[in-house]
Structure 1
């Protein structure tokens, strides 16, 4: 009789011990998963904050400087990189004894690769966001689509415009060469101004495709609104 009671007590002890062990394991697993989940969402919030700030800096106004030169639209949508590449390449070509003629513009097109700052920013940001594991898929897809459209439009417009840049150089060759000689090979504002009509056309072409400065600002506000809505879903307060 006593032996049977001892066996029952021992079985109960093992059952209770096993139950405690299982509950302890499940509790520890939940705690570990909660820690991992919390850390993941923290990283998500950090990456979304960084994305939001990066997008906004394209149009952030300097309240202490109201000049057109430092206007965010001017900085983001200027064509200076394109001008610099063409001016420096063609001026070097002429100094080496070459002749640039309007009836032979296609001969130079394969030597030009520069695009405005907005193109480089679009491509770099797109490549970073596309594979970022800490940006929610719906937001990432929207941003990648927007940046793809913007980069493709810029590339197409500049490729079409390049012969016109070369024509500007030809029409002003003597002045450009003398200016570079005088200014230690530095392009001054007067040279940039020779291409100003191409920058205006560049912006107009983007606007026609609904990718101009105002449209970009609207897209950025839409993305930041998506980010805000996502962050709201983790707000513990009503």
Structure 2
């Protein structure tokens, strides 16, 4: 009897895992379809960075950012030109392979679930490496991420726009939060991106993780009505 019960539990867990995988793939497929429609069919493998180079961040001041909305307004000035949700989607949700992919473990916008899983696991060893071997990078990271700049899992766990404490400890351990931290820390360590460029990339990944919330916020920032935004999934990847 006990053996039969154990077998039943294992089968149930396998079925649940399969359903979760299928659901995540459905979310990714739906999101990709929305982005392709909004952008006129962006080709796979396209190098993507910083809104396709459409906006300069030379004058962006991240020291004044105190919320995710302010980060979006500061880092995506092209939103002032949008007319509808399709324009917002095309700006906020990237596709293809970012130029820093290899430096950050081969992550790709086209497979956000696998990329998030890798980043969330990599964060812990990356954090220790930077703290011990690159203290200047660690202090720079704290200066950006240990403030309410939006580097967080804001829309799944309720921690708000700040994902780490003042000394660099995670305020939430769900997969989205360490993944976002790994993007910021990895870009600071492995690229010459400015703080504004780093934060913009985090915002773009955060939009992939939480499409509906972030696109709606972008539309609000642009002064557009986001109340009818129903087509995007609320979250990609599990906590």
Which of the two has higher C-alpha Rg?
A: 1
Q: TM-score, normalised by structure 2?
A: 0.23
More helix by share: 1
Tell me the TM-score normalized by structure 1.
0.23
